[in-house]
Every structure is written in C-alpha cells, then in structure tokens.
Chain A
Amino acid sequence: MQEPDRHEPPNFGTERELLETFLDYYRGTLLVKCAGLSDEQLRQRAAEPSTLSLLGLVRHMTNVEQNWFQRIFLNRDVDFVYSGARNRDAEFHDVASASGDQVEEDYLRVCEESRSIGRSHDLEQFAAIEDERDHVTLRWIYLHLIEEYARHCGHADLLRERIDGVTGD
C-alpha cells in the first residue's frame, strides 16, 4: 500500500469541520500504518493470541464505513465488500488470498462514498433505520467512527511495531 495524503485537523473550527477532518485524519492514519509493507506482512497476526492483522483492520473498516453510512444512515441495500457486516469477523479472518492493493482500492472507494453522504446531511439528522436499540444521529456516527478508527489504529500501532519496528502517530 502507498503512503496516503494525510492532513492534521485544524486546531479550532465548527463542529462539522472538526468531525470531518478528524475522521479523515484517522482514515489516513490506518493507511499510514500499512504503507510500505508486503501483503504477507499485512496479513500477519503480529500480536498473538490476538487474531488481528493490518489487512484485516482495513477490511473491517471498509465494512464499518458501509454499514454506518450506507446501510444504517441511508437504509441502502448494501453490497458489502466482505461478505456482509452481519457475517461477524469474516473480514478479519479471511485474509489468506487478499491482496493489499485490492483492499486499499475498495477501502478508498468506500471512504469517498461515506464522505459524500456525510457532507450532504445535517449532523442532527437521524439514521433511516435503527441500530440495535435506537436511531442514531449523524453526529453520533461521526463521533463513533472517530473513536472506532482511533482504537483500531491503536491496535495497528502495536501490530506495525512488531512487524518491522516502525512507530509513530
């Protein structure tokens, strides 16, 4: 995978500016953690007994983006890239034949679709369908995705360090 173009969020601004830029910062961070590694390294379960791999994380976040922005927020009939968000963990585990370049291409396309959806709706708008308990707002989706990305990037930090020693934000 290639080193992405990643921008630091501005240090002050409107709610929307900060939510969009922080989320994009973390979309970029996940790719930064993958950049320069071979497919074999990207598939490595580098912190066992955890089953996490960098490639699994990118595939997972692809499904997560589709699930929140397309399925839940817009109630689209989504063709999930990795066998459906309901099929738990297939995106994490079925990485044996996955290619880094293909995973990256699918991920970038899905992120662009999420950006377009997010930009064109009010932060107070409710999702079209319920999650497990209730309807979420777009604001909640942004905040949740920022913290979900950040947490998985924490996983990615340690996976990467154990693969080739590289650290950093």
Chain B
Amino acid sequence: MAIIAPPRIEPAFYGPEKSQLEAWLDYHRATLLLKCAGLNVDELRTRSVEPSSLTLLGLLRHMTIVEQDWFQRVFAGNEITLDYDSPSDHNADFNDLASATLEEVEANYLRACAMSRGVVRDAGLDDIAQGADEGFTVDLRWICVHMIEEYARHNGHADLLRERIDGATGD
C-alpha cells in the first residue's frame, strides 16, 4: 500500500477572492499527498531530517487534526473529537506512529479535507468563527490564509524529508 499521487490543479491566475483561497488550499492539500506518494509506511515514518522529529506520516496526521480543529471545531463550532487526540501527548499526531496504518491515515485525512471544503463552501469569508475560545475573534478569511501558509510551511518540511528518503524533489 502506498499513497497514490492525486491530481493537483494549479490555482487560476485570476478570480474572486474566495475561489482563489480555496484553490491555493487545495493545491497544498494535494502537494502534501504528492510528497507522500509512492513511499511505504516505514519510509513515511522515518525521521529523515534529524534532530527534527518530523515525519511525512506525522505531517499527514497533523494536518488532519489541523483541518478538523480550524474548520469544524473553531469555525463551525461543532463538538468533535480530533482523530489523533491523546491526553498524555499533546503531539500524538506527530509522535504516535508505530501502530498507524497508511490506509487509516489517508482515509482520515481525505475525510477531514472533504468536511473542511463543505464548511468553506457554505460560509462567507467575513463570517466570524462560532467555536473560538473566549475572547478570540477570528474570521474565515484569516483561517483560510492561515491554513495556506501552514500547509505551505509543512510542505517545505515535507520537501526535505522526502529528498532525504529517496532523493525525490520538486514543487
């Protein structure tokens, strides 16, 4: 089992704000899967840029709960249990990989992304998050731009992790 490289669409060069944000977010969702594609689970669990503890599988799990947290919990105000929540380890998404199966990680990730797309589709960029912590006001526009930069930064990590696993590089 390996992740199959998804189709990835370059964002259009012009268009309204919301569709541009959605397009860049989807571009980076696909990029993360591209960086994982074709590797076996042991390679995906490899800390290939030590001393960093980052792994490609850990990044995929991390972005799964980041999607759930920002779009479902914070913005939509849904009461949800994050997929990789552990009371004993705040970074369980990154760290607790020994028993993680690729099928489950990929399925959870794709499901979380689909849920996020639905949340964004039905809302306006000026809409204020319903589930943010007391005293914290954040709108959907900020969440979308933040998610693009968070993905892109982690995809930068993924670039170097991948290059040191099998030499593969590229946008």
Contact = CB atoms under 8 A, between A and B. Distances in A.
A131 B13 contact: yes
Given A155-B160, A161-B49, 18 more contacts: A11-B137, A18-B145, A22-B146, A47-B164, A126-B14, A140-B13, A146-B152, A147-B24, A147-B148, A149-B149, A150-B149, A150-B150, A151-B152, A151-B156, A154-B152, A154-B156, A156-B156, A167-B52
Given A155-B160, A162-B51, A12 B137 contact: yes
Nearest to A124: B14
Interface string B30-60: 0000000000000000000101101000000
Q: Which of A52, A134, A150 has the most CB of B within 10 A?
A: A150
Nearest to A153: B153
A11 B28 contact: no
Nearest to A147: B152
B85 interface: no
B14 A135 contact: yes
Nearest to B31: A151
B153 A139 contact: no
Interface of B: 11-14, 17, 20-21, 24, 28, 49, 51-52, 54, 125-126, 128, 136-139, 141-142, 145-146, 148-160, 163-164, 167, 169
Contacts of A157: 52, 153, 156-157
A168 interface: no
Chain A interface, >50% SS class: helix
Given A150-B152, A162-B51, A139 B167 contact: no
20 contacts: A9-B142, A11-B136, A12-B138, A12-B141, A47-B49, A52-B160, A123-B17, A137-B14, A140-B20, A144-B24, A147-B151, A150-B148, A153-B156, A154-B157, A154-B160, A155-B156, A157-B52, A161-B49, A161-B51, A161-B52
Given A22-B149, A154-B153, A154-B156, A147 B49 contact: no
Interface in A112-169: 123-124, 126, 131, 133-137, 139-140, 143-144, 146-158, 161-162, 165, 167
Contacts of A13: 139, 141-142
A29 B51 CA distance: 21
Nearest to A12: B139
B13 A137 contact: yes
Contacts of A143: 11, 20-21, 24, 148
Contacts of B137: 11-12
Contact of B139 (A11, A50, A52, A158): A11
Interface in A9-63: 9-13, 15, 18-19, 22, 26, 47, 49-50, 52
